[in-house]
Structure 1
Amino acid sequence: MNTPAVTDPFGRRSPVLETLAAWLLGLLWLLPLLYAIWTAFHPAAFATRFSLSAPLTLQNFVNAWHAAPFPRYFLNTFLLVTMILAAQIVLSTMAAYAFARFTFRGANLMFMLVLMQLMVMPDILIVENYATMNKLGLRDTILSIGLPYFASAFGIFLLRQTFKTVPRELDEAATVEGASALQVLMKVYVPLAKPIYLAFGLVSISTHWNNFLWPLIITNSVESRPLTVGLQVFSSTDQGVDWSIITAATLMTSAPLLLAFLLFQRQFVQSFMRAGIR
């Protein structure tokens, strides 16, 4: 991904200014996380003040774990993001392959309609989605949370751009060997796009792991609520807001995503660069 270079007042490229800008942006992102870590590992009395003598404690995590059915919330969230990602990969792969390699009437118009979906906020469709899920009898289920997101316009666009970079000679060679269109897709295109699938997977998982409004509206029981909705129990107590427990619960919820990004950040960035995103 190309980013504009930071220049000095005379228009010259300045590595020092670039470094300072990177540090500034990093600190802006890091400070809230550091505050959450401090609050989660210290008693409530030190939630709003810093002291070198403040005692460390894990009791906030214990209290948070017992205050809500976290095992069930984690299971629901894992099933949800896995279900959505699997459906998106299958549907996006098929659609992207069709747009990238087949010529048919209305292809450009259909692809423009797909791109237009990127400009539509999902929250706009909440009322219609709720009515649809209610008619299907799926309300208050994990399937009802994920079904509206099974088709991904972003995934179709990303994979189409990747598939179009594959030389057509590979198609012809595979066809000469007797491969069908589906076999060409699975044995030629999909293996070459593995880094793109990784990047898209991280985006999809993080998006639906953190989704709050739609799951809040469509579910009303512990059996189907994901983590984000389950966290609201900590802000609706009669005893007031305990920031130590809230931050502990938030860290437990976001820890899997943070670890995944730290482990795959290099592949994540390189994948989008290979996709030709400018």
Structure 2
Amino acid sequence: MFLVALVWIVPLVWMLWTAFRPKDSVINPTLSWDFTLEHFQHVWSAAPFGLYYGNTLLITGGILVVQLLTVTMAAFAFARLNFKGKEFVFMLFLVQIMIPADVLVFPNYNVLKELSLLDTKLGIMLPYFASAFGIFLLRQMFKTIPPELDEAAVMEGCTKWQILWRIYVPLARPSYVAFALVSVSYHWNNFLWPLIVTNSVENRPLTVGLAIFAQSFETGAQWAEVSAATLIVIAPLLAGFLLFQRQFMNSFMQSGIK
């Protein structure tokens, strides 16, 4: 594990070292303690990273909010409601987990084209409003809740909606944390789908903006600027993981993910 961690951390350490080093010292083999922030200033002024941040926060947060609503209702239906064909429909959801997201790029693109949603933030978010993984995760959690709680709530006059939001949702908090971590990290780093759908600066997320910035003529061979831009993009996720590492691991352990 330590060897794997070492291999993983080498590019991160090199990026941090390069981003804060003066441009003349990046490829200089001589070790010195000269550091600068001018690369970050140049990157922030050379590309609209503030706009990219806003777009990414809106897209990631919007997807998560809608997903929490859809996966909660679907998971409760599969866990506690009885309807014809329930097991077959649930198997279809499980099959969807095994389908790579890249396979659905062209069908989703054609749908968005018909709906005139290309190059929009809603177009980026729309294919991810439901999550088969989230439904499976919460369904397994809901099934561990004793049915006697439902019966007691019904005796108190609670409806299905009240049972769901007052009993199941609070008890499944670790699963919600685990799913939120997976969803936010995935959509924050998602690149292929936003690259295909967006054409304007106003709708680009951070990943697409970083790729365009790194491939531009002005910064194509300037590793210090590219490293600084990369650090700007990954800094929120990296800081969040370092600050909440224990909660991150505990949420998955309590959710039953091995």
TM-score (structure 1 length as normaliser):
0.89
Please tell me whether residue 215 in structure 1 is matched to residue 194 in structure 2. Answer: yes
CA contact (8 A) 1:234 1:241 kept: no
CA distance in 1, matches of 2:86, 2:232: 45
Map of 1:45 onto structure 2: 24
CA distance in 2, matches of 1:237, 1:82: 29
Residue correspondence of structure 1 range 2-151 to structure 2 within 5 A: 22-151=1-130
CA contact (8 A) 2:178 2:255 kept: no
Please tell me whether residue 262 in structure 1 is matched to residue 253 in structure 2. Answer: no
Map of 1:19 onto structure 2: none
> Is there any run of 5+ residues in structure 2 with no aligned partner, and where?
none
Percent identity between matched residues is 55
Aligned equivalent of 1:182, options 161, 184, 187: 161
Residue correspondence of structure 1 range 143-182 to structure 2 within 5 A: 143-182=122-161
Aligned equivalent of 1:206, options 168, 177, 185: 185
CA contact (8 A) 1:145 1:215 kept: yes
- For 1:146, give the aligned amino acid: M
Aligned equivalent of 1:230, options 200, 205, 209: 209
Count of matched residue pairs:
257
Deviation at 1:50, TM superposition (A): 4.4
- For 1:234, give the aligned amino acid: F
> Is there any run of 5+ residues in structure 1 with no aligned partner, and where?
1-21
Deviation at 1:54, TM superposition (A): 4.9
Deviates more, 1:250-259 or 1:44-53: 44-53
CA contact (8 A) 2:22 2:35 kept: yes
Deviation at 1:52, TM superposition (A): 2.5
CA contact (8 A) 1:37 1:247 kept: yes
CA contact (8 A) 1:202 1:261 kept: no
- For 2:118, give the aligned amino acid: R
- For 2:90, give the aligned amino acid: F
TM-score (structure 2 length as normaliser):
0.96
Q: Which runs of 4+ in 1 moved over 6 A?
A: none
CA contact (8 A) 2:174 2:255 kept: no
Map of 1:271 onto structure 2: 251
**What secondary structure, in the 3-state scheme, does the structure 2 residue paired with 1:223 have?**
helix
CA distance in 1, matches of 2:240, 2:217: 36
Per-residue CA deviations over 1:130-157 (Å, capped at 9, x if unaligned) read: 1111111111011100100111011001
CA-based RMSD of the aligned residues comes to 1.3
- For 2:16, give the aligned amino acid: I
Higher helix fraction: Structure 1 or Structure 2? 2
CA contact (8 A) 1:163 1:189 kept: yes
CA contact (8 A) 1:85 1:205 kept: yes
CA distance in 2, matches of 1:27, 1:145: 35
CA distance in 2, matches of 1:93, 1:194: 12
- For 1:191, give the aligned amino acid: P
CA contact (8 A) 2:194 2:205 kept: yes
